[in-house]
Chain A
Amino acid sequence: MTVTSVSAPPMGESRLLADHPGGPVPQVDLRSLVDLLTRAGLTGRGGAGFPTARKLAALDGRRPVIVGNAMEGEPLSHKDAVLLQRSPGLVLDGLDILRHALRPSRTVLALGARVPTPPDRRGIEVRRLADSFVAGQETALVNQLNGHDPVPTDPSTPVFRRGVDGRPTLVLNAETLAQLALVVRHGATWFRSQGLEDDPGTFLISLTESVPGLLDHPGVLEARRGVPLREVLRRGGADPGRVQAVLLGGYHGAWIPGHALDTSLSRPGLAPYGATPGAGIVHLLDQGACPLDVAARVTAYLAGQSARQCGPCLNGLPHMAQTMRRLARPGADPRLLPELERLQVLVTGRGACKHPDGTVRFVASTLRVFDRHVQEHLRGHCDKDHPRRAAR
């Protein structure tokens, strides 16, 4: 990576994965930083999409703790690993800027198993933590840093009020930190030069496939917010004709049917499908796969990833997974559908985190988008492949 003098701002969509701008990072006080981020309209890139400026403003008056979240517990996501591999300097820049603005008692970069350690840590506490699907959740991450198990805690005490070491804690995704660093260097107007009015900037996309060969270039790419899904597929070298549907947002996400590839990857564009850009996961489902079979495996995986703390999740998710498995066998009982409906209501909102809610979103989307295929199964046929391999 060449370190030149401070260069001109990147013009195209390649911002995060380009060469490091070089030079020290500008120092900004908290008020100016919040103002800048508000004008830029930067939202979190970790999945929830919360406005970053507001997260900063929410911190209590006391000395906070800053945590960079590079846990990447979602199996379909690779962007944070690639970001830390390609542009660790940007992530650390983001933490440096926050260190100056917030004067925290601690600054931590939390890495999951698949994320590489940055070569130069600049005095930041880098911690490799226990990895699991829920371990990257904000309160679970804080809980682990406090020396407890990597499981979520009751949300009625938000981490921005009491988190690591009992202090107000700011948790930001690694990509958000990198974006923040670029906004401070190049300004709000520059940030908004890509993307949409109400969803500006760029984001990293993890582009993956259900079978090898669907994509010429699987992996991580960067695109402007609002990019049409079709363009993402083209850049990945996929033949749209071979794509049955696209899973947006990982295992807690929703499906975009194969005929709707002109959907734009932005909040408003994806809302009709019950999806959000989330953490930029775009997973292609090939024409040959039985979507119900795939969904049953995913639901089983999600049930297995429950933290096993909260009764409705711990009991409801395996029940849902079992019901999905039965639905995935052709000749399924039609009463399985109202049963799934009932279970969805039972687990939604009844837990310390959104794991059951995300699972419900995925299941509901599956039943909606693949409605016709569900009917086929109920009538006793399935024209897709059901690979007889061990459940994931």
Chain B
Amino acid sequence: MNTERFETLIAAYGAEPSRWPAAERDAAMAFMASDRAAAERLLFEARMIDAALDASPTPQVSHALRESILAAAPRPRPVRSGGFGWPAWLRAGAGLVAACAVGAAAGGLTITQLAGAAQADSILAQASDLPVDEQEFLG
């Protein structure tokens, strides 16, 4: 750190060491301590500009703005009900099994109905053609 760099530093970042680059802060502070009078002369103007900048008011957040922003915030994802806490793959499997069961029942009923209808037709047809003893057998 030399006078030229110190001058450049405070011309850019001001008089407050916390705003100086971290990598140069210690060296700059050591330079300042080594020649306090010279440093003070350089710091004087920087302090005035810092003070002027600090006079700029910080805008206040209005309640309306805050609420408007929060109204658009993400919502928690809804938890599916009726799953009894089972894993998704298990719930999906159970659903598949249920669907198959319904399909099978419906299919079974249809086959039963078709078979029953076919059997009735066959019986009637046969009843009209078959000899008496066979009619008796078929009932």
Whether chain B is bound by chain A comes out as no
Binding site for A on B (CB under 8 A): none
A residues at B contact (CB < 8 Å): none
